[in-house]
């Protein structure tokens, strides 16, 4: 199995370098299995939002397509999918991933009032304000 870096996925999604995008897509197709770390997905969302100024809905769609790659193994997939669900409902992806990674039996302590408000709106009472 081969793990992929964020920049491989960025090339495919943005097609900002046509030659590298074609190489990246061909590389993924040649692999029997590829591993995508949840930190790569976290960085990918950040890069698409901050460097490429892509809107949340489009980023959500790109992340969804990545999780549906037939030969991909997503690290901690259930956690990533939960985070994506919350992200799709308006939560910041990093916050959603942190919260989902904390597990359903744990509280998540934060100084971030916005995170707490969004969690309450989504009926996620395990977020506590420090």
In this predicted model, what pLDDT tens digit does every residue of 48-87 receive, in sequence order? Answer: 999 999 999 999 999 999 999 889 999 999 999 999 999 9
Phi and psi of 30, rounded to 5°?
-75, -20
* 5 and 64, same domain (yes or no): yes
Q: Over 90: is that where the pLDDT of 16 sits?
A: yes
* 44 and 4, same domain (yes or no): yes
* 50 and 1, same domain (yes or no): yes
Q: Which of the four pLDDT bands, split at 50, 70 and 90, describes residue 125?
A: low
Query: Is-contact 78 85, C-beta < 8 A?
Result: no
* 68 and 108, same domain (yes or no): no
Torsion of CA 117, 51, 36, 56, to 10 degrees: 40
- 84 is a domain residue: no
Domain count, the chain: 2
The kind and range of the H/E element at 21 are helix 18-30
Distance, in Å, from the CA atom of 87 to the CA atom of 66, rounded to the nearest integer, reads: 15
Q: Over 90: is that where the pLDDT of 41 sits?
A: yes
Range of the structural domain that residue 113 is part of = 90-130
Angle between helix axes 38-50 and 77-88 (nearest 10 degrees) is 30
Query: Is-contact 17 11, C-beta < 8 A?
Result: yes
């Amino acid at each position: 199995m081969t793990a992929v870096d964020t920049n491989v996925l960025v090339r495919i999604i943005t097609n900002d370098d046509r030659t590298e995008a074609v190489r990246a897509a061909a590389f993924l197709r040649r692999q029997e299995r590829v591993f995508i770390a949840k930190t790569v997905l976290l960085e990918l969302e950040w890069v698409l939002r901050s460097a490429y100024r892509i809107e949340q809905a489009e980023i959500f769609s790109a992340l969804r397509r990545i999780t549906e790659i037939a030969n991909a193994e997503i690290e901690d997939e259930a956690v990533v999918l939960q985070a994506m669900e919350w992200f799709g409902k308006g939560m910041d992806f990093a916050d959603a991933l942190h919260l989902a990674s904390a597990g359903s039996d744990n509280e998540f302590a934060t100084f971030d009032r916005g995170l707490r408000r969004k969690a309450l709106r989504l009926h996620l009472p395990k977020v506590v304000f420090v």
